[in-house]
Structure 1
Amino acid sequence: MRRIFTVLALSVAMALGLLQAVPNDANAQGRNDVLVIGMATSDLISLDPAKAFEFAGVGLVTQIYDRLLDFPPGSYEAPEASLATSWSVADDGRTWTFKLRDDAVFHSGNPVTAADVVYSFKRVVVLQDQPSFILTQFGITPDSLKAIDDHTVQITLDKPYAGGIFLACLAAGVSSIVDSKVVMEHAQKTDKYPDGDMGLTWLATNSAGSGSFILRQWAKNERVALDANEKHWGNVPKVKRVILKEINEATSRRLQLEKGDIDIAWELFPDQVKALEGAAGLHIDKFPSTTIYYVGINTREGPLANAKVRQALRYAVDYDGIINNIMGGAAKQINTFIPEGFAGYSDKIVYRQDIEKAKALMAEAGFKDGFEISIDTGDQTPNPELSQVLQASFAKIGITVKINQLVSAQLWPRYRAQEHELIMARWGPDYVDPHTNAQPFADYTAKQLSWRNVYENDQTAELIKMAGAEMDQAKRIDFYKQANEIIQEDGPYIFLFQPLYQYGVRDNIEGFVPPPSFDLWKLYTISKG
């Protein structure tokens, strides 16, 4: 009887147009206030800012939550004011004070206060989930956080750090501010957290934010629905609802875009883009992702320990063939560890294919007749194809390359154990600041990429350490540039390219600012004409 009554009630509500349930995609396309996006969201595990570290999860956190600082649409060199209206650092370089805006409220109606900031950061530190290092790398503990008054927060670091790095990390997803009252109401005792999980279980599928959108529904493996927060203090969305429809196959995204079932198709590949050429009513937007594809060179011993051999490898690569044939034009050559869009990026290309120069360097190094080497690569496109191009390129200068194609569970442990000779790899930043790339690529003491390739350069390591403590932004960026020049000449990498994200967009979509990654996409700018 209860079920019959419910169905009847729903039917009546639908007939009256009062039902607020998630619309189907066909209806959504006929409504100017609903935006439908098709994208791969199968990696979505949690919507909790303290846990979310996957592509889709962090992207959704960006829409639902506010942070002290944030990156405005299309500008990623330095964060700007958000919940914090001003900030300062004491003479000790360790004590930061943030003044909060007084008109921000959570979706629950509770005001955003300094106590919420303290609680949000404290739970990140205590829960110690994947993204927690973004805050704990500054020595932040529960005792480091203090609410001076309702709108003043003080954060004390363990030592002075470059302001640009710290502030960029406060604009990361893990630094989102949660409604402490709501979260504490939903804390549960679990086996892992017998004293309470600080809302970790509940926030995985619910929200307690103050952002431009309110979580309405997460139907796992189907869709996520977000409603506009019309009471947001500054960034009120231009549509009333956003539907993120899970479409994991790029071809399916392309077909649904053509049919008009979705407004935006996230991340199309060259085959899909080519198929859409000349299609009426839509276009392709492109933007470089922040991921860098590179070859790691183990410098421990043998020919690869010779800097001239490493230079020869860089000159031998068929960069144009990689970008035009393997990537279908959806990539941009890069010769730096700082991606386009970050402060300190340089578009200067040092290496282009020059076989004669590569042969001369091999001869100078004493390897005129070449040698045999292996390259480890993953089994997912485009890594095997890239490795084949490298194999053919190096053959032109007498180097015979054996390709070891491995699954990820084999590939990355070998890399971390320094067991490779060459490796086809990629790197994506953890937060929006050059330090997140400069440190792993150039400071071997960080025990990341430079260390994995047995490249122990004290000069570059010291430059990165100085950059990490430099409060003057211009000086800090100059340290990175100096380190990058050394790495380009002497380092253990062949920087290949940044992929281009390609988005299929209906022509009636306005205000779409293509981002380098989903966590930097601000949906509130988009409207439907």
Structure 2
Amino acid sequence: MAFRSIAAIGSLVFLLFVSSSQAQTLRVGMTTTDLPTTGGIPDNGSEGGRFAGYTMYDALVNWDFTKVDKSADLTPGLATEWKVDPADPQTWIFTIRQGVKFHDGSVLTADDIIWNFDRHLNDKAPNYDRAQAGSYRNYTSQVDKYWKIDDTHIALHTKVPYSVLPYMISRVFIVSPTQYRKIGNWLDFQANPSGTGPFKVEKINPHVSIDLVRNDDYWDKTRIPKLKKLILMPIPDANTRVAALRSGQVDWIEYPAPDSIPSLKAAGFQVVTKPYPHVWAWQYNTTEKSAFHDKRVRLALNYALDRDGMVELLGGTAKPSIGFYDKESKYFGKPSVIFNYDPEKAKALLKEAGYGPGGKKLDITVQLPTAGSGNMVPLPMGEVVQQNLRDVGVNLTYEVVDWGTMLSSLRQPPGAPNTPHRDGIAHGLPLGDPTNFYNEFTSMAFAPSGSNWSLYKNEKVDELSRKAFETFDPAERDRLIAEAHTIVVDDAAWLFVVHDLNPRALGKNVVGFVQAQSWYQDFTQLTVKD
């Protein structure tokens, strides 16, 4: 908790030196506990990708923010097109965009793309990033080999036919080999990074701010930023973020404290919300050493939750979650179990599983973050869950940690050496593409190779997911994912809590922001008035 306070205070001290009338400068208060890393493998979860990824870098495949009436999908990035080799469904061919310049002035080549994949996948390469390569297992886990075809084409070969590969590699940001060779190591590269994105780093103030400036030479002329400068600051405490916005020290905050929203609106601040793919949930430990190995216990906790009460706590900035996907999603399916608030049913299920009066006492330990990417306001939310479970006889103890520590925990599955016992991990995550389901619920994606920390395994889910991601027919893929999701809900694989509505608060001086239905957002089209 001391770390949270230091980060927040440090940000505000810095802000005192930034003129609130500085033209065309947008100052953003992030929810992260520290600055995301800037070397092309941003930490701090998907919020790191939002602010220290797509602002500074491009991937072969980017996100399209122009169609805001539906969930964002993919658009060409550093690849102008991609296709599956007709002779081999496991080989993808990417056409490399010509004439793109890195921030250091060097010109992007096909060799540079191969060099970047070496950074993550080739432990014999001189530029292999031993410290951070593990962070990208989720995004490159299906890539078996890769090679340069010619000066304008490269190939990625997958371990099995994998139709959603473009979604996975949308987070593989491309950095400048020329800049790396000049600097000589990845640690110092963080201080002087070079990508191809619409903003470039001007200065990094450790633990305080990242100062970005407009890249006037950006290859996509429609997305050369209208802003001159973008300043990113970690302010993990929601109330501190609100205070910074009210005092004019920042122009934009991620996730304002819910109880502040009415007064912010009354004072003329812009509060923007929009549904997008996201869930705040618990990943259950489903191994035999946890009570959640028993489906009845997993079901019981889902019935014990007062989700409407949670939405009320959040000031209407969320929707109840009864599955990984929202019930309006094409992936939701037709589960037979619908999780309503039913404490008596929860108690009956717990009694059937041997817990409660006349049986064992159910004591569980769950890791909870203090703040961070997609985590909303986790401490008050955690208190609501704790009270709901206490009402049905469950004693819940939280292991409260910062977001960076939790990300490390998620890479160490239950039972890993030197890892304390946890019955669950509570956190929020965006679900912007279909690979999220594969990574969270299949045994092929057990941590640390994927995101399935729970070690949840259902053979039918595995089979359906495998078929879904091997088919190149989008409609059939969606049908199969929905069928697999139906099983996950009926199996109560996780404790599903709420879906976030992506709230953010902007000053009156911020003009032209249109929120996309995505975790990621486009900062290139907005302006800030004097």
Q: TM-score when scaled to structure 1?
A: 0.78
* Structure 1: runs of 5+ lacking an equivalent: 1-22, 188-196
Equivalent pair of 1:77/1:341 in contact (CA under 8 Å): no
Q: Provide the residue aligned with 1:67 in structure 2.
A: 59
More off after superposition, 225-234 vs 497-506: 497-506
What letter corresponds to residue 36 of structure 1 in structure 2? R
Distance in 2 (alpha carbons) for counterparts of 1:486 and 1:41? 34
- Residues 61, 79 of structure 2: 8 Å contact kept: yes
Taking the TM superposition and a 5 Å limit, the aligned residue runs for 1:30-429 are 30-40=21-31, 42-44=33-35, 46-50=37-41, 52=43, 54=45, 57-58=48-49, 59-73=51-65, 74=68, 76-90=71-85, 91-125=87-121, 126-128=128-130, 129=132, 130-141=134-145, 144-149=146-151, 151-162=152-163, 164=164, 166-172=165-171, 175-187=172-184, 197=185, 200-234=186-220, 235-280=223-268, 282-287=269-274, 290-294=278-282, 296=284, 298=286, 300=288, 307=295, 310-325=298-313, 327-338=314-325, 344=331, 350-355=338-343, 358=346, 371=359, 372-378=361-367, 386=381, 389-390=384-385, 392-393=387-388, 399-408=392-401, 416-417=414-415, 423=424, 425-426=426-427, 428=429
Given that residues 443 and 450 in structure 1 are in contact (C-alpha distance below 8 angstroms), is that contact kept between their aligned partners in structure 2? Answer: no
Partners of 2:103 and 2:196 within 8 A in 1: yes
- For residues 282-323 of structure 1, give each alpha carbon's deviation from its aligned partner in whole angstroms, at most 9, with x where no partner exists: 121124573422362647499866645544443332221222
- Report the equivalent of 1:481: 482
Deviation at 1:250, TM superposition (A): 3.1
3-state SS of the aligned residue for 1:184? helix
84-93 vs 302-311, which moves further: 302-311
Aligned residues: 483
Whether contact under 8 Å (2:39, 2:193) holds in the other structure is yes
Q: Could you say if the C-alpha distance between residues 365 and 37 of structure 1 is closer, same or farther in structure 2, counting changes exceeding 3 Å?
A: closer
> Which moves more between the two structures, 242-251 or 486-495?
242-251
Question: 1:201 deviation in Å?
Answer: 2.7
SS in 2 for 1:416: coil
Shift of 1:365: 7.6
Q: Give the letter aligned to residue 52 of structure 2.
A: L
Residues 1:145 and 1:511: Cα distance change in structure 2 (over 3 Å): farther
Q: CA deviation at 1:474?
A: 1.9
Deviation at 1:237, TM superposition (A): 0.6
1:300 touches 1:453 (CA, 8 Å); kept in 2? no
- CA positional deviation for 1:454: 6.7
Q: Confirm or deny: 8 A CA contact 2:277 2:517 kept in the other structure.
A: yes
SS of equivalent residue, structure 1 residue 36: strand
Counterpart residue number, 1:435 = 435
When residues 182 and 255 of structure 1 are mapped into structure 2, their CA distance, relative to the original with a 3 A threshold, is same
Question: CA separation of 1:205/1:509 partners in 2, compared to 1, >3 Å: closer, same or farther?
Answer: same
Secondary structure of 1:293's aligned partner? strand
Classify 1:370/1:453 alpha carbon distance in 2 versus 1 (closer, same or farther; 3 Å). farther
| Contact 2:302 2:492 survives alignment (8 Å) | no
Secondary structure at 2:243 match in 1: helix
What do residues 412-468 of structure 1 show as CA deviations (whole Å, max 9, x unaligned)?
599713986953622535x84222234423547735899865754211122222223
2: CA distance, partners of 1:132 / 1:301: 29
SS of residue paired to 2:503: strand
Name the SS of the counterpart of 1:221 in structure 2.
Answer: coil
CA contact (8 A) 2:389 2:396 kept: no
Distance 2:113 2:154 in 1: 7
The structure-2 alpha-carbon separation of the partners of 1:350 and 1:183, relative to structure 1 and needing over 3 Å to count, comes to same
Alpha-carbon displacement from aligned partner over 1:132-168 (angstroms, at most 9, x marks no partner)? 3145412444xx221511x222223333212x2x101
SS of equivalent to 1:218: strand
CA contact (8 A) 2:202 2:213 kept: yes
3-state SS, counterpart of residue 107 of structure 1: coil
Task: Indicate the SS of the match to 1:88.
Answer: strand
Report SS of the residue matched to 2:28: strand
Sort the Cα spacing of 1:104 and 1:76 in 2 relative to 1 into closer, same or farther, 3 A. farther
Q: CA deviation at 1:63?
A: 0.8
Report the TM-score when normalising by structure 2: 0.78
Report which of the two structures shows the higher radius of gyration computed on alpha carbons. 1
Cα distance between partner residues in 1 of 2:281 and 2:487? 19
CA distance in 2, matches of 1:40, 1:222: 13
Contact 1:387 1:403 (C-alpha < 8 Å) held by counterparts: no
Q: What SS is found at the alignment partner of 2:278?
A: coil
Question: Residue 78 of structure 1 aligns to which amino acid in structure 2?
Answer: D
User: In structure 2, what is the Cα distance between the partners aligned to 1:267 and 1:347?
Assistant: 32
**CA–CA distance in structure 2, aligned partners of residues 385 and 246 of structure 1:** 20
Residue in structure 1 matched with residue 498 of structure 2 by the alignment: 497
Task: Percent identity, please.
Answer: 24
Displacement, 1:216? 0.9
Q: Which sections of structure 2, spanning at least 5 residues, go unmatched?
A: 1-13, 122-127, 371-376
Secondary structure, counterpart of 2:244 in structure 1: helix
- Tell me which residue corresponds to 1:190: none
Judged with a 3 Å threshold, the aligned counterparts in structure 2 of structure 1 residues 347 and 81 are, in CA distance, closer, same or farther, namely farther
Query: Which SS does the other structure have where 1:440 is aligned?
Result: helix
Cα displacement (A) at 1:278: 1.0
CA deviations on 1:474-524 (whole Å, 9 max, x unpaired) are 222222211111121123332111334431112332232446887x22211
